[in-house]
Every structure is written in structure tokens, then in C-alpha cells.
Amino acid sequence: MSTSKVYALDTSTLITVLRNILEVMKANEKYLTKLDADIGDADHGINMVRGFQKVMELINKENPSKLDAGRALQLTGMGLLQVVGGAAGPLYGMFFLEASKKVQGKKEITVKDFADVLEAGLKAVKMVGGGTVVGDKTMVDVLEPVVAKAKEIISKRDNVDFIELLEEIVPFAKECVLNTIPLQARKGRASYLGERSKNHQDPGATSTYLIIRTFYDTLKGTTGVKISEYDQATGKLLKEEPL
């Protein structure tokens, strides 16, 4: 296992992360759509693929080697807002647009910036959702605990690098996804199902986890993972395999 420290994410690495997110969404398209079919409208997988395809198109249209981190995240938000329908477009779109403001004009993202970026994105998601809180069975169920944990780790330890931070954040984020299974949805289309939304893993929480974990996988030199086994009834993630 590599022990090299990563203290900053430069823009070209960030663009690699975004490209890998597209690959991860493609690999998990059917799974995400299955999760959304169970408690929503069966479009989350296709939406995420279409969204990140547009993101890469916008990034490639500009000179990627000249982009700064803020602009790359801004183009991500714009791409997602342009082509992703339903709730996911505005939620993820505003996540990245607000996040981008934290690193405007910066060539690289530090670990501290990363926590600020996630926190700004979280605030936007909560606002767009109309005051979403943890327990509503949404992507906030992953994002909010992850932001809190990242900030805690950074404040308590000196010189934390991305690998050390994400090594703790990724399994924690996965736990947060699994914690959505028993919940009754209080936001979004799933909330119309009432009690019947219980015992299903939330699709938005799942894609949020996959995005966070792709930062880690990219920094470790891999692309990301495909969820290769899941429980048919609940959608519970059982097994992941590297792409």
C-alpha cells in the first residue's frame, strides 16, 4: 500500500476525479436506477451518467490544462444543472456551484479547502431541499455526518493528508448510506410512499457515497468501484469491486 502523502489536489487530479466519477456512474447506472425504481421514479442512474457526461463535455470544451479548481467545480455544477432532471439536478448542481465558490481562482484544493467545499455544498443541498435534515433519507444523511467528521479530524490532528482523511471518511460514509435503509423518507418523491419507503437504501445517499469514494480511489491510483452485489429486497450494498 502506498504511503505517499497527498496534501493538495491539483486541478488536473480534480479533473481525473470527475472523469472517474463518470466511469463509476456508468458502472453503477443499473444499480442506482434499481434503488430509485424501488422508492422513486427509476431515473437516478441514467441522470447521473448523463450529468457527468455533460460535465466532461463542458470541461473538455475549455482548455482543461488552464482551468483552476474553482472553475472545474463550477462547470460541474453547470453541467449537472443543464441536463439532470428531477431532484438530483438542482441538488447536485447547486452542491457543486456553491462548493466552487470556496476555491475560486485556486489551482489546488487543500485538505482544509476540501472540508470547506463539502460544507458549502451541504448548505446548498439543505437549502434546495427546503431545510433537509439528517434522517430524512436523502444525500444529506451522508453529507452532513461526513462534513462533521472531516472537520473534526482536521481540527484534532496536525498535517492530515487526503489519504489519511479519506481512509476514515469512506467507510464512515458507507455506514451512513446503510443507515438510510430503515428510515422513512421525509423529502422527495420517496416521501409519497410513507411507510413503504422504509427498508430501502436511498439512491441519492448512495451516489453521494460513490462520489466521495471516487476521490479516494483516484488518489490511490484506481478509478473507483462497481457495486457488484446487493440485496434484492432492500438494495443494500453488499459487495464492491474495483473497476
Contacts with Mg ion, residue ranges (CB under 5 A):
36, 40-41, 43-44, 86
At closest approach, how far in Å is the CB of 233 from Mg ion?
19
Q: How far is the CB of 44 from Mg ion (least distance, A)?
A: 5
Q: In the chain, what's the furthest Cα-to-Cα distance?
A: 50
Minimum distance, C-beta of residue 204 to Mg ion, in the bound complex (Å) = 9
Query: In this chain, which residue has its C-beta nearest to Mg ion?
Result: 40
242 three-state secondary structure: strand
- CA-to-CA distance for 150 and 167, rounded, in angstroms? 11
Closer to Mg ion by CB, 44 or 50: give it: 44
Q: Which is nearer to Mg ion, 70 or 203 (CB)?
A: 203
- For 77, the grid coordinates are 455544477
23 or 41: CB nearest Mg ion: 41
CB of 47 to Mg ion, least distance (A): 7
Determine the Cα angle at 209 with ends 9 and 11, to 5°.
15
Contacts of 242 (CB under 8 A, 6+ apart): 217, 222, 223, 224, 225, 226
Length of the chain: 243
DSSP line for 181-214: TTPPP-STGGGGGGGGGTTS--HHHHHHHHHHHH
Give the nearest distance from C-beta 29 to Mg ion in angstroms: 13
Shortest reach from residue 59's CB to Mg ion, in Å? 25
Q: Is the Cβ of residue 91 or residue 169 nearer to Mg ion in the bound state?
A: 91
Distance from C-alpha of 138 to C-alpha of 128, rounded to nearest angstrom:
12
Q: Which residue, 84, 100, 103, is CA-closest to 92?
A: 84
Residue 141, CB-side half-sphere exposure with 13 Å CA sphere: 25
Q: 52 or 215, CB closer to Mg ion?
A: 52
Nearer to Mg ion, 109 or 143 (CB): 143
Name which of 41 and 168 has its Cβ closer to Mg ion: 41
- Residue 236 CB, nearest approach to Mg ion (Å): 19
Residue with the three cell numbers 458507507: 174
Q: How far apart are alpha carbons 37 and 28 in whole angstroms?
A: 14
Coil vs helix vs strand at 97: helix
